[in-house]
Amino acid sequence: TQLLEQSPQFLSIQEGENLTVYCNSSSVFSSLQWYRQEPGEGPVLLVTVVTGGEVKKLKRLTLQFGDARKDSSLHITAAQPGDTGLYLCAGDFGNEKLTFGTGTRLTIIP
């Protein structure tokens, strides 16, 4: 069973600060997705990355896929209270199914 490790497990920062969360595996991903989940709801896709070294920017979010396709990072600039939630990475290890990480629970303090 492939494992995805996410760090940190919990993160609490002040509004306006920057943050980075990480997703790591010992195996190579075919592709990697990042989801955000708010309390009482299902996860919602933020972005998919498929190419090693790929960087995607979505407004204040920057997603990076490692060159070796074993790791990824999610950077948020100038965090806002609306960014609060559980951030989940999900990797496809070539079997056309997603393996989810354990998540980073992010709290932005106004």
Partner 1 sequence: NAGVTQTPKFQVLKTGQSMTLQCAQDMNHEYMSWYRQDPGMGLRLIHYSVGAGITDQGEVPNGYNVSRSTTEDFPLRLLSAAPSQTSVYFCASSRTTGNYEQYFGPGTRLTVT
Q: Can you give the binding site for partner 1, defined by CB under 8 A?
A: 1, 4, 9, 30-31, 33, 35, 40-45, 48, 88, 90, 92, 96-98, 100-103
- For residue 48, the minimal CB distance to partner 1 (Å) is 7
Q: How far is the CB of 41 from partner 1 (least distance, A)?
A: 6
Q: Which is nearer to partner 1, 34 or 64 (CB)?
A: 34
Going from the C-alpha of 68 to that of each of 23, 31, 35, 107, the distances in angstroms are: 13, 12, 21, 30
Q: Which lies closer to partner 1 via its Cβ, residue 81 or residue 94? A: 94
Question: Are 7 and 47 contacting, i.e. CB atoms less than 8 angstroms apart?
Answer: no
Tell which residue, 37, 5, 3, has the closest CA to residue 21.
5
Of 45 and 78, the one with the shorter C-beta distance to partner 1 is 45
Which SS3 state, helix, strand or coil, does residue 83 take? Answer: helix
